[in-house]
Amino acid sequence: MNIIKYPTVSEYKKICERPHFDATQLNKVVCGILDDVRCRGDIAVREYCEKFDKACIEDLLVTNAEIEEAYDSVALELRDAIILAHKNIKEFHESQRFESKPVETAPGVVCWQKSVSIEKVGLYIPGGTAPLFSTVLMLATPAKIAGCKEIVLCTPPDREGKVNPAVLVAAKVAGVSKIFKIGGVQAIGAMAYGTESVPKVYKIFGPGNQYVMAAKQQVSLSDVAIDMPAGPSEVCVVADETSNAEFVAADLLSQAEHGVDSQVILICTSEDKVNEVQAEVARQLALLPRKEIAAKTLENSQFVLVEDTHAAMDLSNAYAPEHLIICTKDYNELAGMVVNAGSVFLGEYACESAGDYASGTNHTLPTHGYATTYSGVNLDSYNRKVTFQHLTEEGVRSIGRAVEVMAENEHLDAHRNAMTVRRVKVEGM
């Protein structure tokens, strides 16, 4: 990890840089796979499944029998944990329901909005070294609450052609409509274009590796919407002399074990605490099963010593972290200073893991600085707002002439005339 002491504001930009790489060749590979899936459908999907996942899949759709078998095979303690997490996620997202109120903007002019769910959504759940069954809950639960008619899930199979049982249990609990044994770029292509087996969806959600992220961005240009652009996962911890070094180190390492391209940042007002956390990170790292991954991540990570908590929050807002943990004595005050962050964790007991799994908030969040412009996944992510307006004769009298004048000055005579013919009728012009 790199230690930076008392940086100036002009140095913030360099501190906030994420690891980057040349994606030119990657994008070419992704484009080729997507084009192939678009043209050859299921045949191409099966070929890529065999090539990348080393699995020969005859029937891409997971059967009800497979789901029930998985449900029975998962340990009761894990099943109960999934059910508890689902309850909390459901409760939090149900609180986000939109209520529209008609507004009379002028006499005789009433406007309002209606929230309408996206009919078909696709969820991508990574497999690999850490099958993210928790992400199934995070994505499918709000989709179900929103009223999406079809919730399609794609996830890579293992070499025996089976899906991780916990993923299937989470999908059953959250109400997924269809589950397919498809991973990687081919899964994104299948959901974006549709195949003989996989229905085309209108919006794709979910994390993935660099290939999956590139695929999502490519299909979003003309074929389907996506939840957000994303990069590797990250956490920023803001600490002071009162912070618990053991907790802080654990939080940094919990993020560092995600992958070698992840990033962690500590911003602290106490040099003694920085040294204490550094020692604690080394101690805990040695005990981790995924210590090689976490150690590699720490190479891209920063420990930053700042003058005070105001400087800490200025740097945090410049960084715009996916996860922000504020574990200072004045965390409530600093919470009011948050401008850019995906999800915020306050106090010494609110670890990122709570939000990742069971507190109820969503863990699908903007990364790579996109927290400056994007929200994390929420109920609105699965809805569209349709606007309505109604004008009476009084409404024509209220705004009719203003509409005509504005249309005339934009040289759009047909626009002007659409209002003029109504004014003639109403006002007898």
Q: How many CA atoms lie within 13 A of 411 on its CB side?
A: 0
- Report which of 244, 250, 392, 372 is spatially closest to residue 320, judged by C-alpha positions: 372
Tokens coding 128: 């690999």
Taking phi over 0 as left and psi of -120 to 50 as alpha, with beta for the rest, 320 belongs to left
- Select from 204, 245, 209, 210 the least CA-distant residue to 225: 204
End-to-end CA distance of the chain: 77
Sheet holding 120-124, edge to edge: 178-181, 150-155, 120-124, 203-205, 225-226
Which residues contact residue 261 at a Cβ distance below 8 angstroms, ignoring those fewer than 6 apart? Answer: 19, 210, 231, 232, 297, 300
Q: Could you give the count of Cα atoms lying within 13 Å of 21 in the half-sphere of its Cβ?
A: 10
Helix 64-73 vs helix 165-174: crossing angle, to nearest 10:
110
Residue 408 CB partners (closer than 8 Å, separation 6+)? 416
**Is beta strand 109-117 parallel, antiparallel or unpaired with respect to 383-391?**
antiparallel
Distances (CA, A) of 139 to 145, 227, 255: 11, 10, 20
323 is catalytic: yes
CA distances from 246 to 115, 136, 240, 275 (A): 45, 30, 13, 12
Question: Catalytic site residue 310?
Answer: no
Residue 58, SS3?
A: coil
Catalytic hit among 323, 348, 352, 363? 323
Residue length of the chain: 429
Contact present, 312 and 337 (Cβ < 8 Å)? no
For 172, the enclosing helix (H) or strand (E) is helix 165-174
Residue with tokens 């090689």: 292
Identify whether the C-beta of residue 357 lies closer than 8 Å to the C-beta of residue 138: no
Spot the catalytic one: 234, 322, 348, 352: 322
What is the set of active-site residues?
A: 322-323
